[in-house]
Amino acid sequence: MKILFTTHAKPQFLPPTIIDAQEVVAGPYYNHVKRGPLQFKYFNTPRGLFDFQECFGKLPAEQQPELVMVHIDATLACLPRNIPDHCRKVLMVGGATHILEKPLQNIIAYAREEKFETIFVWNRQNAHWFKELGFPNVFWMPALTFAIPQATIPENKANQICFFGQLGKYHPRRTRILEALQQAGIQIVGGQLPRKDSLQLVTKSTLSLNATLNGEFNLRVFETSAHNTLLVSDKISHFTGMELFFPDSEALVTYVTPDEAAEKIQYLLNNPQETTQLAIKGKAIHDRHFSFDARRQAFFDLLEYKGDYPHLKLVDEPRCSLPQVTQETDGIFLKRVQTYELVQELHRNQESVRILHLPGSPLLFVSDLADLARVKQLKAEIKDTYDSQWTPALNELQITNCSQTDPENIDYSTNDLTISSTEDLGSPNLQQALDAQKLPRILVWNMSTENHADYARRFLELGYERPDSSVIGLFARKS
């Protein structure tokens, strides 16, 4: 099969796995490199949007693709448009879907416009969006088809914990955790290193620290487990799927707070034999499920609708069984994605996030936010109704971060975001809180473009502004 793989990623950070020996890899960070006088191995593309035929029409006839794999993330750095219908079109969604402006909105819009027949997501928690939109084949593949570089593992490792990875404006929590551990007396070696140095560091260390950017199943899991090193990672949501392969305290160790991390790291440093045993289990899991051969086989099996891969086929992700979006619910779907992007950005920056759902906030909004590990959701509902109606629904969808709160005694000021309906705005308690400017943010989910102007005028008079003019019904207290 003649394969064209396009990617926004820099090869030094995410080198593509060679799915086929004759594939062509293309992107803005690749130069034209030929295999011989005529055929290409690597192909340079424009950055951003570009017409498929104008660019890849330059490939020789014998390299015109039958399968086009498009790797996309929130950077939108490599977007071929008008991919021919005679090509099998596969969208690979991953790395960064949880930073930058409107990451999911932009990716979803591109997927819908190009009408991809198959979608692979790196971040499992993103899968249900595409399933709800009716894409026929949506699969989960951690790390997609990217190579995990291997380094030689020394016979004797240093009994130490290392850290390697990016720091900076997108990683405020990572910085906080590193500083807290250092203050607790944990000596961490490494830092923001070149990839080659990072891999050499992890191979010679017994422990490696992971602090995810935004609660995602990231590349650090594979880089560490591949080199027989035990990962100590922040605890992320079960919706990410990490625990399906790497159970806590069996193949890695997780923490919630820096204090817990410091305690567990010190224990593991004091018990190197236990550390080694856990690392061996982690490497066995990696070699079985995430080696080059294993992921290549899984990719082609899923592409041809073969094989027994329940986790990758998302049969155990209940949100992937939600009803498909219709023309009537498309606007609500967009509001849900916008709300998720707002909350995940709070989640990236804050240690904890509180979301209050007033009686008019639907279950779907609660379901969407269930995969953000440090988000606590409160549903304002009388206890009998919550127990009889909400609890069964939450259990069916495996939502664990939502609890009941008394609708008559709400402290609105303690919640980062309040989600309400237009009907909720008639509540005397809410009106009093708005008058006193106690709500940091409020989203009126069912506010329409028709009635938005009147409501917006009222909110402005109360001292609230629109932080994002594209999100109808979102208001924030003026700073």
CATH code of the domain containing 313:
3.40.50
pLDDT value of residue 292: 87
Number of folded domains that form the chain: 3
Residues 409 and 438 in one domain: yes
Q: How far apart are the first and last CA of the chain?
A: 58
| Phi, psi values for residue 434, rounded to 5° | -65, -40
Q: Are residues 132 and 170 in the same domain?
A: no
Same domain assignment for residues 358 and 305: no
Residues 408 and 440 in one domain: yes
Question: Looking at the structure, do residues 30 and 118 belong to the same domain, yes or no?
Answer: yes
Phi, psi of 48 (to 5 degrees): 90, -145
Assess if residue 153 is contained within a domain. no
Block residue for tokens 């009907």:
423
Task: Provide CB contacts within 8 A for 31, sequence distance 6+.
Answer: 42, 44
Predicted pLDDT of residue 442: 98
How confident is the model over 270-319, as pLDDT tens digits? 999 999 999 999 999 999 999 989 999 999 999 999 999 999 999 999 99
> Where in the sequence is the domain holding 128, given as residue range(s)?
3-146+295-321
The rounded percent of the chain whose pLDDT value lies above 90 is 91
Task: State whether 97 and 227 are in the same domain.
Answer: no
- Rounded distance, CA 187 to CA 176, Å? 15
- My answer on whether 414 and 468 are in the same domain is yes
Residue 84 lies in a domain: yes
Please state, in angstroms and rounded to a whole number, the distance separating the CA atoms of residues 175 and 359: 38
Residues in the chain: 479
pLDDT at residue number 284: 97
* pLDDT tens figures, 250-283: 999 999 999 999 999 999 999 999 999 999 999 9
CA 256 to chain centroid, in Å, comes to: 18
Residue 317 and residue 268 share a domain: no
Please compute the mean of the pLDDT values over residues 186-202 and round it to a whole number.
91
Task: Kindly state whether residues 303 and 261 are assigned to the same domain.
Answer: no
Picking from 115, 127, 56, 108, the residue whose alpha carbon sits closest to that of residue 90 is: 115
User: Highest mean pLDDT range out of 30-39, 185-194, 287-296, 456-465?
Assistant: 456-465
Lowest pLDDT segment from 29-38, 356-365, 389-398: 29-38
Percent of the chain with pLDDT over 70: 100
Q: What's the rounded Cα separation, in Å, for the pair 323 and 327?
A: 13
Residues 51 and 142 in one domain: yes
Question: Phi/psi at 52 (nearest 5 deg)?
Answer: -60, -50
pLDDT of 189 over the 80 cut? yes
This prediction has a pTM of 0.96
213 inside domain: yes
- 20-24, 48-52, 393-397, 402-406, range with the lowest pLDDT: 20-24
Residue 336 sits in the same domain as residue 471:
yes
In a domain? residue 152 = no
Q: Which of 237, 265, 288 is the last residue of a domain?
A: 288
Q: List the CATH number of the domain containing 362.
A: 3.40.50.150
Q: Is 115 found in the same domain as 69?
A: yes
